[in-house]
Amino acid sequence: MDMRKLHKILLAVFCSGVLLCGLGAGLAFIEFSELHYGGMQYVGKTQMCTEDMDVEFEPGEEKTDITGRYWWRTNDVIYDKEVPVNTVRLRVTYNAARIEPYAHLDNENDIVFYYHIINEDEMALIMEAKDVILQNLRAGSIVSVDTAGLEKVVVLINPENAEDVMVRN
């Protein structure tokens, strides 16, 4: 086979490949341009509730720090006369089917808020998320998938303790 004929064949194969890639990219663009965002969808059990947790503290020379794990978004404190003096009330909105929150006063007079995840089958959540994503793709939408957990923590204290408490991120 002569070199000139081989070059022509290779050029034809190359041009065909470029044409097919362009056609594939165009079809993919058309398919994705027809998708719309379907919002957030939650997987797993959801049992949202709001609970008040009162933690008593002794005011001292230093302010009592209020700290938390993965939840603090603000330094805001709500002053409420219905909260007993020398008490911090944490109003927690959470998914009771998934997490258990708790708060305590530690040895350094700091109020610490934590939560732990109740035993759950992570593989079952992954498979449920996969099913939700595929079902929505078939319907022409893309969704975000998450599990409901800790939604919000609000700190309430009595106005008499305004100078005794500090929220730390």
Same domain, 85 and 106: yes
State mean pLDDT over 45-55: 92
pLDDT at 73 over 70: no
Same domain, 112 and 62: yes
pLDDT at 18 over 90: yes
pLDDT tens figures, 141-153: 999 999 888 888 8
Please state, in angstroms and rounded to a whole number, the distance separating the CA atoms of residues 114 and 94. 12
The total of structural domains in the chain comes to: 2
Same domain, 69 and 84: yes
Q: Between the ranges 115-124, 142-151, 160-169, where is the mean pLDDT highest?
A: 142-151
Same domain, 146 and 81: yes
Please state, in angstroms and rounded to a whole number, the distance separating the CA atoms of residues 138 and 109. 55
Same domain, 93 and 160: yes
Same domain, 101 and 21: no
pLDDT at 1 over 70: no
Contact 68, 112 (CB under 8 A): yes
One-letter amino acid for residue 34 of the chain = E
94-116 in b/e form (b: 16+ CB < 10 A) is bbbbbbebebeeeeeebbbbebe
Same domain, 8 and 47: no
Q: How confident is the model at residue 131 (pLDDT cuts 50, 70, 90)?
A: very high
User: Could you write out the DSSP letters of every residue in 116-142?
Assistant: EEPP--HHHHHHHHHHHHHHHHHTTEE
Same domain, 77 and 11: no
CA torsion angle 46 51 56 57 (round to 10): 50
Q: How confident is the model at residue 58 (pLDDT cuts 50, 70, 90)?
A: confident
Same domain, 21 and 65: no
Same domain, 46 and 98: yes
Tokens representing 92 are: 């927690």
pLDDT at 72 over 80: no
In this prediction the pTM is 0.70
What range defines the domain where residue 12 resides? 3-34
Q: 73: how many CB neighbours lie within 10 A of its CB?
A: 9
Phi then psi dihedrals of residue 100, to 5 deg: -125, 115
Same domain, 19 and 92: no
